[in-house]
């Protein structure tokens, strides 16, 4: 597999990101980066980002959780952040990203994990849970989706994506427009997408930090390809994996919390779906984080960290 590695000097002196890099070699020769902070014997909290961000997204969340005594692991998906970046877009598949993350968990010997999944962190992280549920003791789903285009989703989602009785698919124009923009934009700059998905004005150096992993177009195969992999039809690979994931979640009785923001139309409706279909979500004090957009870690990172801590503390689980 041909890949690129972003030069280390592009990650020096990023605002609010003092964390030491850690790398795990994967079976196909790639190297995966992750932040690993806090005591090694602390409860493991796995923070998963999506497209087009990287672990920098969690820089406000990490120190708060470490202050509560957790071991916090924030990986960069392959193709993002400091992780290696396969050049061919076809190397970025839903199965590959899920398997790469599973390799990371194996290498770190992580168990009794609190999974925090946002954006594509949901399909990948919950996909791992479906394959290996015994690893996870708590789940926080935040501004994420599991598109399957199933007919039962009709009327449930703010951004529609469901199959109609005649076999056609109803997909929100805004969803297709996002997919289109990620392909048509000439110069791919993740910082612009992050700014568009937040309610606060980001400083120029923060926007630049989101762009740092992608110095030129050849580094952008991952963030370009993922939007094309969304499960917008029932026959798509992503939809089929998400269906298996949802079936596994219907048997997941460990504590499951939704912490969606009030300003993310792209994911609205999925929080109710999780609450109604995951046994572990029953009787939880689900949270709406106010004043935040899709990237709520930017807008309300401290509050999200507090929500995660209160949820774990309020739901003791006997570790395996």
- The catalytic residue positions are 119, 264, 294
Q: How many CB atoms lie within 10 A of CB 243?
A: 17
Helices (H) and strands (E) in the chain, counts: 10, 12
Longest dimension (CA), the chain: 55
- Burial tier of 207 (Cβ tally within 10 Å: 0-12, 13-18, 19+): middle
Please report, to the nearest 10 degrees, the dihedral formed by the alpha carbons of residues 126, 130, 132, 133 taken in order. Answer: 80
What are the E-state strand segments in the chain?
A: 3-4, 22-25, 31-37, 44-48, 71-75, 85-86, 113-117, 136-141, 161-163, 169-171, 256-261, 287-289
Measure the CA–CA gap between 274 and 246, rounded to whole angstroms: 9
CB 135 within 8 A of CB 110: yes
Alpha carbon distances (Å) from 171 to 118, 140, 157, 236:
21, 27, 10, 14
Measure the CA–CA gap between 156 and 160, rounded to whole angstroms: 8
Query: Could you give the 3-state DSSP secondary structure of residue 237?
Result: helix
Contacts of 247 (CB under 8 A, 6+ apart): 130
């Amino acid at each position: 597999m041909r890949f690129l590695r972003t030069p280390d000097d592009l990650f020096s002196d990023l605002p609010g990101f003092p964390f030491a890099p850690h790398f795990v070699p994967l079976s196909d020769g790639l190297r995966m980066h992750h932040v690993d902070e806090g005591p090694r014997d602390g409860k493991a909290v796995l923070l998963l980002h999506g497209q087009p961000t990287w672990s920098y997204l969690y820089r406000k969340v990490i120190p708060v959780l470490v202050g509560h005594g957790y071991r916090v692991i924030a990986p960069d998906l392959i193709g993002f952040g400091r992780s290696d970046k396969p050049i061919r877009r076809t190397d970025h598949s839903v199965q590959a990203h899920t398997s790469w993350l599973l390799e990371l968990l194996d290498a770190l010997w992580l168990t009794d994990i609190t999974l925090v999944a946002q954006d594509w962190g949901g399909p990948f992280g919950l996909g791992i849970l479906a394959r290996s549920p015994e690893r996870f003791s708590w789940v926080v789903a935040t501004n994420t989706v599991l598109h399957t285009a199933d007919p039962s989703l009709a009327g449930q989602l703010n951004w529609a994506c469901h199959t109609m009785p005649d076999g056609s698919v109803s997909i929100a124009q805004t969803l297709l427009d996002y997919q289109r923009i990620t392909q048509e934009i000439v110069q791919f700059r993740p910082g612009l997408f992050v700014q568009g998905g937040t309610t606060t004005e980001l400083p120029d150096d923060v926007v630049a930090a989101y762009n740092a992993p992608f110095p030129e177009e050849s580094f952008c195969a991952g963030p370009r390809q993922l939007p094309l992999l969304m499960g917008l039809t029932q026959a798509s690979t992503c939809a089929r994996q998400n269906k298996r994931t949802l079936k596994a979640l219907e048997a997941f009785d460990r504590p499951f919390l939704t912490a969606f923001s009030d300003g993310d139309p792209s994911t609205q409706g999925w929080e109710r779906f999780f609450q109604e279909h995951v046994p572990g979500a029953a009787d939880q004090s689900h949270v709406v984080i106010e004043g935040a957009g899709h990237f709520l870690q930017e807008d309300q990172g401290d509050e999200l960290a507090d929500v995660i801590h209160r949820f774990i503390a309020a739901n003791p689980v006997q570790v395996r």
